[in-house]
Structure formats: structure tokens, C-alpha cells
Amino acid sequence: MHGTAPRPAAPGFSATVRELFLALGPQIHRAIAPACMPCEAADDVLRVLRACRAIELAMAGLYEALAEIHQRDPSMAALWRKTAREETNHAAQFSLLLEAIPETIQESALDAQALENLHQAVENTVEEYRLRSPSVREALVAAIDFEEAMDKTHAHQALVFSDPRCQRMLVAMMAADSGHITRLRAALHRVALSRP
């Protein structure tokens, strides 16, 4: 009105969002703009997230197998089962993150091939342990090694989401995996004390 036509909104933005963008400046572009990740980069991110989910599922399988193998040791069987449930929950959370792609992902600095190699190593160990029963100590050492390998990827820093809820979910998962290491190390310490 007053003879001034409203400025057209940029593609993908409502007039209100465009005005907010102009008022607050380009530093918030990532927070309000649709993610425009190139197809190749989006494929890499999908591969990384699928590999992370596969690792969590493989670790759950490892812990479930160990719970069966060590069922005569109630405290160890309980620890294995608890950790398996947590890994299964983490896999479900990675599924949720996969559903958020490509809308919320910004970047990934993770090596998908290294993650896939780690997944295969876990699967190979599960198969080996099904053929021969490892001692509690051997199983704990292997589990700690795998958990530490995943922890060293620093996925919560290497995967960046524009949606803070996704970022918080990833940070919480990585913190829980660090908790696994602490519990497994404590169990290994108890084993060392009880079985000289």
C-alpha cells in the first residue's frame, strides 16, 4: 500500500523468513536456510551414518552373544545385556538421524571406509566367538578395544547438524559410549582382582 510493492521472497523462503534473514545478517544463514549439500557430499554422509548404525547393531549382537556365552556368570551376563540394549537404542537413534538427511546435515569429516572396516571387524569377532567361547577377560578386552575405536572417531565433533536437537542426540550417544568404556574397564579390573 502507499504505492510500495512488497519485495518478493527469495526461493525457498517466506517473506517473513527473508526479512528475518536480512535483519539478522548472513551469520544465521545456516540456521534458517534449507541445507544445500551437493549430492556427492550427501551420499558420503548417508554412508557414514549407515556405517555408524551398522556398528551399533553389530556391537549389540556382540554383547548379546557374550551374554549367552557367559550366562553362568550372572553379573557379566547382566552387563552384556544392558550394554546390548543401549547399543540397540543407539542404532535406532542413528536411524532417526538418517531420516533427518539431507535437511539438517551440514558436514561430515568422518571416514566412511574406516567405519565400515570397524563394522566388519566387529562382525568377524561375533562369528569367531560363536565358534569358540572367549574368556570373560578376553571378551572385555575386545569390547573395550571396539568401543574405544568408535569413541576415537569423535563423531559428535565430525558430524555437524544445523538442527541442534540432532547434534544433542549425537553428543548424548557418544557420551553413553564413553560410559560403556568406563563400565567395561571396571568389570575388567574386577576380573583381574578375582582371577590372578
Contact 151, 178 (CB under 8 A): yes
Same domain, 5 and 73: no
Amino acid type, 87: E
The residue assigned the cell 565400515 is 116
Same domain, 77 and 97: yes
Q: What are phi and psi of 34, to 5 degrees?
A: -60, 140
Which helix (H) or strand (E) segment holds residue 189: the answer is helix 164-194
| Residue 156: HSE in the Cβ half-sphere, 13 Å Cα cutoff | 16
Please report how the helices 39-69 and 112-131 are oriented relative to each other, as an axis angle in degrees rounded to 10: 20
Number of domains the chain contains: 2
Same domain, 121 and 151: yes
Question: For residue 45, what pLDDT is reported?
Answer: 78
Q: Counting every residue, how long is the chain?
A: 196
Same domain, 89 and 132: yes
Q: How far apart are CA 47 and CA 174, in angstroms?
A: 19
| 89, pLDDT greater than 60 | yes
Q: Which three cell numbers stand for residue 123?
A: 562382525
Q: Hey, which of 17-31, 46-60, 74-88, 153-167 has the most confident mean pLDDT?
A: 74-88
Please compute the mean of the pLDDT values over residues 175-188 and round it to a whole number: 87
Same domain, 25 and 64: no
Dihedral (CA of 50, 77, 81, 156) sign: negative
Same domain, 1 and 56: no
Same domain, 117 and 135: yes
Mapping DSSP to helix (H, G, I), strand (E, B) and coil, where does residue 156 land?
A: helix
Same domain, 21 and 53: no
pLDDT tens digit sequence for 95-153: 887 876 655 556 666 788 889 999 999 999 999 999 999 999 999 999 999 999 988 87
Confidence band of 188 (pLDDT split at 50, 70, 90): very high
Question: For residue 18, what pLDDT is reported?
Answer: 38
Same domain, 130 and 178: yes
CA distances from 9 to 20, 23, 31 (A): 11, 14, 18
pLDDT tens digit sequence for 5-46: 444 433 333 344 334 334 433 332 333 333 445 566 667 778
Q: What is the CATH number of the domain that holds 50?
A: 1.20.1260
Among residues 127, 120, 59, 121, the alpha carbon closest in space to that of 94 is found at: 59
Residue ranges making up the domain that contains 101: 37-194
H helical segments located in 100-163: 112-131, 136-151, 155-158
Contact 80, 67 (CB under 8 A): yes
Question: For residue 103, what pLDDT is reported?
Answer: 56
Question: For residue 145, what pLDDT is reported?
Answer: 95
